Amino acid sequence: MRTSLQKKTRIYMAVGFSLLAVILVAFVISLTHLYVYDPNSTNAAAKLLPPSSDHLFGTDNLGRDVFARCMEASKYTLLVSFCGVFIAFVLGTLLGMPAGYFGGITDKFIMLISNSVMCFPGILLALVAVAVFGPSLFNVVWALGLVFAPTFARVYRTGVIGLSSKEYILHAKVLKVNPMRIMLLHIFPNLVPQLLPAVVIGLANMTLFESGMSYLGLGVQPPHASYGKMLADAQSYMTMAPWLIVFPALLLVIYVLGLYFLSEAARLSFGGERR
Amino acid sequence: MEQAKYIGKRLVELFLTLLVVSFLTFAAFSIIPGDTASVMLGPNATAEQLSALRSQLGLDLPMSVRYLEWLKGAFTGDLGNSYAYSQPVISLITDRLPVTIGMSILSLLMVLLISYPMAILSGRRPGSLSDNTLSVFGHVLFALPPFVLSMLIITLASAAFGIYSVGRYVKPSSDFFGYLGCLLLPSFCIALPKIAMTFKFLRASIIEEKASDYVRTSKSHGLSDVSIMFRHILPNSTVSTITVISLVLSDILGGSLIVEQVFNLPGLGRLLLAAISRRDFPLLSGMVFYLALITVLLYFAADIVSALIDPRMRNNREGTL
């Protein structure tokens, strides 16, 4: 059974990386000298052109090149999801680690706050934060970071509680090692099996959230391209110019799917699914 | 006795959570940069007009007083009037509730009705062809954002087959089945990624239960696979999946806010966007609080249900709340 598990992990990893490679190849093509369209330059003479060798993914209603816009959207998606996950991860560490380690009233208090934040449907919290403080890239990032922080806090807390009864941790405690040192040097490395899949899946989820928010007009702001906004704009040309929907949707799904497969591979490779 | 103690403990936690949730909601809308009165009256307002409006809206009172007032209003269903609509917030919300709640319930039903058979089929024989097919299918579903799915389905249903018109909505009081018909496709779009999620957890839990001793014992006693699956494995797997289902429910609520926008339905999502674009804070805070309230109560219900099914949950497992 062990070999089949490893085989499955390898397959998942291969699929994940190849899906992400598709995005990377597309990105490299967009940087070559053969393909130099400005994602924001409009061209009245080239409205709603179907895909061709000139415009790989066709053009939109303002004559902008869809391929170039997709690449710009990928750039912002990556930026938002990586920064957002970083913020969520740091906040989650600061909240979840002490909660699990010290337990008692510290734990009760931190978990009360983090569970209360989790009670707001995630997208609602992000939308309202962005609406209230203005839709800028910076606000989108920290709002998403805030929304995702409790998830990481939870992963940490469960992991730390699980590890606390291990002998090497008890040993360190008996020797009166500084709690900071125990948490960072002894506990943190041993939580990687739980944290890595959570980070990768967090990237995927944050991408989905960001696209939903920009679909509603509250994510990355125009004139910058974003997948959600491109799709929202494309809705009026659904039957006339299906390529406006097909390509951005496809790239978005490929990216999320790639991350998802990678997170599954990470989970399985650390023995996440015992049979 | 033990059960009553457990429920009592959960009730205290429920109360504390509600307090924090309400305070967070209130605080978020109090620290907003900008003065509501000057936004409402425009740049030409005089100082007297501004202070008159402030005292009319109660903005000149200290924050603690305003919080208590707001809290009282939130639980008695009186959150004042919306700035933009000049109507009571509560009636604006209840007007739109049938769409959002109807969609959420339909989606939940779909999630349960589809993910259970999928998980049973898949968990029955892990690694088999049907398991692998369903798992890959589940991964793909998970990666599809609901609004992209909605756009695809709208294109198929309305453009290709002409069986659906976007934005059609019938009130449940006038034609209940027409109302359900309008909500069917949007609910399906919200449900699909959640089906994938529930399926994944339920499948893992079924596989785990299958390896346990009681299954082996039942088997040696000569019970058929079918009866082991339905009488023993499924109830046990359901207990560990209830937490996931309550998380799914809160996602469904959030998802419906976006999907009803794609389908152009008059639900809470549209009201939310209108409130955001007009900076209508009484309406916004009301919506945020009530949606969170629904979620808190759902989590609470999930905890109670799993405690009733499984006595172990009362002692050594932390609940969702």
- A222-240 per-position pLDDT tens digit: 778 889 889 988 888 877 7
More confidently predicted of A249 and B58: A249
At residue A173, does pLDDT exceed 60?
Answer: yes
Nearest to A249 among B33, B146, B148 (CB): B148
Least confident of A206-220, B79-93, B212-226: B79-93
- Tell me the C-alpha distance between A267 and B292, whole Å: 31
Q: So what's the pLDDT on residue B106?
A: 92
Residue A164: give its domain's CATH number: 1.10.3720.10
Parent domain of A41: 2-269
Interface test with A, best of B12, B258, B262, B303 (most A CBs within 10 A): B258
Residue A34 has pLDDT above 70, yes or no: no
Q: Do B28 and A133 touch (CB under 8 A)?
A: no
Say if CB A112 and CB A133 are below 8 A apart: no
Element at B95 (helix H, strand E) = helix B89-124
Q: Give the residue on A whose Cα is nearest the Cα of B276.
A: A131
Q: Is B229 on the interface with A (CB under 8 A)?
A: no
Average pLDDT of chain B, as a whole number: 83
Query: Residue B263: pLDDT above 50?
Result: yes
User: What is the pLDDT at residue B116?
Assistant: 93
- Main-chain phi, psi angles of A22, to 5 degrees: -55, -45
Top mean pLDDT of A39-53, A196-210, B168-182, B302-316 is at: A196-210
- Within 8 A of B295 by CB-CB distance, chain A residues are 119-121
The answer to whether the CB of A257 falls within 8 A of the CB of A263 is: no
Q: Which of A52-61, A210-219, B29-38, B71-80 has the lowest mean pLDDT?
A: B29-38
In a domain, A275, yes or no: no
Q: How is chain A classified by DSSP, letter by letter?
A: -HHHHHHHHHHHHHHHHHHHHHHHHHHHHHHSTT----TT---GGGTTPPP-SSSTT-B-TT--BHHHHHHHHHHHHHHHHHHHHHHHHHHHHHHHHHHHHH-HHHHHHHHHHHHHHHTS-HHHHHHHHHHHH-S-HHHHHHHHHHHHHHHHHHHHHHHHHHHHTSHHHHHHHHTT--HHHIIIIIIHHHHHHHHHHHHHHHHHHHHHHHHHHHHTT-SSPTTS--HHHHHHHHGGGTTT-THHHHHHHHHHHHHHHHHHHHHHHHHHHTT-S--
- Long-range CB contacts (within 8 A, 24+) of B62-69: B63/B30, B66/B26, B66/B30, B67/B23, B67/B26
A-contacting residues in B 139-198 (Cβ below 8 Å): 139-140, 142-148, 151-152, 154-155, 159
What is the pLDDT averaged over residues A55-64? Answer: 81
Torsion sign across C-alpha atoms A145, A147, A148, A152: positive
What is the mean predicted confidence (pLDDT) over B229-236?
Answer: 87
Handedness of CA B120, B299, A205, B271 (dihedral sign): positive
Q: Is A127 a domain residue?
A: yes
Q: Residue range B79-88: average pLDDT?
A: 81
- B20-59 confidence digits (pLDDT tens): 988 888 888 777 666 666 666 777 777 777 788 777 777 7
B295 and A245 in contact by Cβ < 8 A?
Answer: no
Least confident of A183-187, B29-33, B48-52, B83-87: B29-33
Q: What is the pLDDT of residue B118?
A: 93
**Which one of B21, B262, B288 has the shortest CB-CB distance to A124?**
B288
CA trace torsion B261, B265, B267, B272 (10° rounding): 30
**pLDDT above 90: percentage of residues in chain A:** 20
Give the model confidence (pLDDT) of A94-137 as tens digits: 999 999 999 889 999 998 998 888 888 888 888 888 877 888 88
pLDDT, residue A110, reads 92
Which chain B residues contact residue A228 at CB under 8 A? Answer: 147
pLDDT higher at A8 or B241: B241
Does residue B250 have a pLDDT over 80? yes
Taking the CA of residue B150 and the nearest CA in chain A, the distance in Å comes to 11
Domain boundaries, chain B: 1-84+278-321, 96-277
CB contact under 8 A, A112 and B16: yes
pLDDT at A98: 92
Which residue(s) pair with A219 in the sheet? none
pLDDT tier, A275 (very low <50, low <70, confident <90, very high otherwise): very low
Number of structural domains chain A divides into:
1
CA distance A129 to chain B (A): 8
**pLDDT, average across residues A11-34:** 77
pLDDT band at B312 (very low <50, low <70, confident <90, very high): low
Percent of chain A with pLDDT over 70: 95
Provide the pLDDT for residue B314. Answer: 59
Average pLDDT over residues B195-210: 90
In the predicted model, what is the mean pLDDT of residues A30-38?
A: 68
Architecture of the structural domain at B96-277: Orthogonal Bundle (1.10)
Q: Tell whether the model's pLDDT for residue A149 goes beyond 90.
A: yes
* CA dihedral over A163, A169, A173, A178, signed as positive or negative: negative
pLDDT higher at A1 or A151: A151
- C-beta atoms of B143 and A245 within 8 A: no
A274 part of a folded domain = no
Give the chain B residue whose CA is nearest to the CA of A123: B254
The pLDDT value recorded for residue B319 is 47
DSSP B229: I
Q: Give residue-wise pLDDT tens across range B149-173.
A: 888 888 777 766 666 667 778 787 7
Residues 92-121 of A with CB under 8 A from B: 112-113, 115-117, 119-121
In sequence order, the β-bridge partners of residue B81 are: B88
How much is the pLDDT for B107?
93
Average pLDDT, rounded, for chain A = 85
Report pLDDT digits (tens) over B97-150. Answer: 888 888 999 999 999 999 999 999 998 888 888 888 898 888 888 888 888 888
